[in-house]
Amino acid sequence: MTFKDLGLSAKVLSAVETAGYETPTPIQEQAIPVALEGRDVLGIAQTGTGKTASFTLPMLTQLETGRARARMPRSLILEPTRELAAQVEQSFLTYGANHKLTIALLIGGVSFAEQNRKLDRGADVLIATPGRLLDHVERGKLMLNGVEILVIDEADRMLDMGFIPDIERICKLIPFTRQTLFFSATMPPEIQRLTDTFLQNPKRIEVARPSSTVENVTQKLVFSSSDSFEKRETLRKLLREPEVKNAIVFCNRKRDVATLYASLQKHGFNAAALHGDMDQYARMATLTSFRDGTVAFLIASDVAARGLDIPDVSHVLNFDVPIHAEDYVHRIGRTGRAGREGHALTIITPADTKAIGAIEKLIALKLEWQGDAPTQEQLEAGARGRRRSSNKRTAPSTVRKAVSAEKQENDTTSPSRPKRRKTEPQPADSPLEQSSVSEVAVQTKPEASPEAAPAADRPEKSPKGAAPSNKQKKKETETSAFGAGGHVPAFLQRPVRISQ
Ligand code: AMP
C-alpha cells in the first residue's frame, strides 16, 4: 500500500513525499482512511509507530475546506506535555508546508500574550496541554464550540499525570457532533471508561509496539559500587568511550539531575540538564541544543524526556535504574530511532538487583554485563555498605512519591497545580504570579504534605539545574520544618486565609 491509496489530498501527498516517507506505517494505513471518512478512531499505539502522522495527515486534508473564526478553533489536539505539544506543532508545519492553515500552540510556562494574539486571529489547528487550554477558556479567550475534530493523544500518560478530569471537562465543552481521534499506548479501565463515554462507535485500531526499538538497541549492564562518587566516575568513563557520540543520561529524581549536571560540567563534559521544573523556554532551548548537536549529553528526568522524538541519539545511559520497569522501555526507546542502531547502558549498584530483575521480566530478556560481570563478593561488599548507610538513604516509597509528585508538577501553568482552583493561575510573566502561587501553596500544603516530595526534591531554583547553594539549602531546611517528623497537627491542616 502507498500513501496515494489512502485518500489524502494532493497537497498532503506532496508534503509526505518531501518528508521522504515511502510507505505508510500500519497505524497510518489503518487510521487514515477511517479518519478521512469522519469516523471516530481509537488507536492503541505508542510513539515510534508513526501515530502523529496518522492523525495529522487526514486532519490537514479535512481542514482544506472552511475557515477559522476568531477564538473559535476548528480542531484541537491535546497532548500531556509541552514538549510533545511542540513536537506535534512541528509535524503540522512539516506536513502542512503546502497549506495556509493557522496553527496555535497553547502550553504552560510561556506568556499568554502571544497565545491570545494567535487565538484572536483564528486557529485552524490548536495544539494544547489541558491546563493551559482551560486557563484560556476560563479567561473567556477561547470557545470550543467550533471544534470539528478533537485529538486526544497519549491518553494513558494523561491519566498518569492526573489530567483525566481536565480532559472530561474539555470533552464536554466541544460539540457532540465532533469527530474524535483518540490514542493511548495502553487501555487501563479509566481510559476505557473515557472512550466509552466520549467516543461514538469508534474504529479500534491496535498496533504492536515497534519491534525495532528493541531489535536495533543493544542493551548492557555496567556494575558500580553504591558509592555516589564511584557511580559518577563509572558514568564519566562510559561517556568518554569513543563510540558515545551523544547520550541522554536518565536520573530518577530532579535533585540527582541537578547534581549530576553540575558534576559533569565540572569535569568538562558538554552537558545540559532537562527536568520538569525548568521553565518552558529553557526546556525548549536545551532540547534544540541537544537536537542540533551543540550539546552532547542531556541529563534528564523521565517526565521531561518521555515520548521525545530526537532522531539521532547514539546512547541512552541509565544513571539510575528506573523505579518502574516500564520506564526502562520508554527510556531506551529514545535511542535506535528510525531504524538506526542504538545503545542502552544501565549502571547497576548492589541496591538495584531486584529492580533490574523486574525489568528483565518485563522485556523478557536477560541483560548482559558490559565487560566482566561483578563477583558475588563485589555485590555483597556493596550490599554491606548499603546496609550501613541505609538510614541515610531515601526510602523507596518516598522515592515513588517523589516521582509521582514530579509528574503532577509537569506541564501545568503554575508550578503547583494539584487541583483546579477558583483563583486561576497567572501567566509566568504576570505580576500576580507570586501571590497566586503562594496562595496555592498555603492552601494545599497541609493536604499535600504526607504525599509531598522530600524537601530536596522540590523545585530547585538554581539556574540550569545547578546544585543548590548553601543559602538555598538553609532556606529549604527552614521551609521544610513545616512537616518535621512527618506529623502534621490538625490545626495546621485547616485552610489559611491570607489578607491581601
Ligand atoms: P511518531 O510515532 O509519530 O512519534 O513517529 C515516529 C517517527 O517516525 C517520526 O520521526 C516520524 O517522522 C517517522 N515517521 C512517521 N511516519 C513515517 C513513515 N510512513 N515512514 C517513515 N518514517 C515515518
Residues whose CB is less than 8 angstroms from the CB of residue 244 and which lie 6 or more positions away in sequence, other chains included = 238, 314, 315, 343
| Cα–Cα distances in angstroms (integers) from residue 276 to residues 42, 282, 396, 408, in the given order | 29, 11, 21, 10
Residue 176, CA atoms < 13 Å, CB-side half-sphere: 2
Q: Is the CB of 52 under 6 A from ligand 1?
A: yes
CB 42 within 8 A of CB 201: no
Which amino acid is present at 40?
D
CB 296 within 8 A of CB 261: no
For residue 201, the Cα-to-chain-centroid distance in whole angstroms is 30
Tell me the CATH number of domain 3-206, given options 3.40.50.300, 3.20.20.60, 3.40.718.10, 3.30.565.40. 3.40.50.300
Nearest atom in ligand 1 to 311's CA: 10
Q: Which three cell numbers stand for residue 301?
A: 528526568
Q: Which three cell numbers stand for residue 49?
A: 509507530
Q: Is the CB of 107 under 6 A from ligand 1?
A: no
Domain parsing of the chain, residue ranges: 3-206, 217-391
Residues whose CB is less than 8 angstroms from the CB of residue 449 and which lie 6 or more positions away in sequence, other chains included = 482, 483, 488
pLDDT score at 109? 85
* CA-nearest residue, atom 23 of ligand 1: 50
* CA-nearest residue, atom 6 of ligand 1: 48
Q: Is the CB of 48 under 6 A from ligand 1?
A: yes
For residue 200, the Cα-to-chain-centroid distance in whole angstroms is 28
Distance 212 CA to ligand 1 centre (A): 13
Distance 304 CA to ligand 1 centre (A): 21
Q: Which three cell numbers stand for residue 250?
A: 536518565
pLDDT score at 311? 81
The Cα 284–Cα 467 span in angstroms is 21
The Cα 272–Cα 380 span in angstroms is 35
* CA-nearest residue, atom 13 of ligand 1: 50
Burial of residue 428 (number of CB atoms within 10 Å: 0-12, 13-18, 19+)? middle
- Helices (DSSP H) in 349-462: which residue ranges? 353-363, 376-388, 396-409, 433-448
Nearest atom in ligand 1 to 52's CA: 3
* CA-nearest residue, atom 14 of ligand 1: 50
Q: Do domains 3-206 and 217-391 have the same CATH topology?
A: yes
The Cα 381–Cα 422 span in angstroms is 55
CB 218 within 8 A of CB 343: yes
Nearest atom in ligand 1 to 45's CA: 2
- Residue 320, classed as helix, strand or coil, is coil
pLDDT score at 300? 95
- Residue 203, classed as helix, strand or coil, is strand
pLDDT score at 426? 32
Q: Is the CB of 50 under 6 A from ligand 1?
A: yes
pLDDT score at 377? 78
Q: Is the CB of 49 under 6 A from ligand 1?
A: yes
Burial of residue 83 (number of CB atoms within 10 Å: 0-12, 13-18, 19+)? buried
Q: Is the CB of 25 under 6 A from ligand 1?
A: yes
Mean pLDDT by 10 residues, the chain (500 residues): 96 96 94 98 89 97 94 97 93 95 94 94 97 96 97 92 95 96 92 96 85 71 92 96 96 94 96 87 89 95 76 94 86 82 94 88 88 80 49 38 40 36 30 25 27 28 38 35 37 45
Q: Domain 217-391 has what CATH class?
A: alpha beta
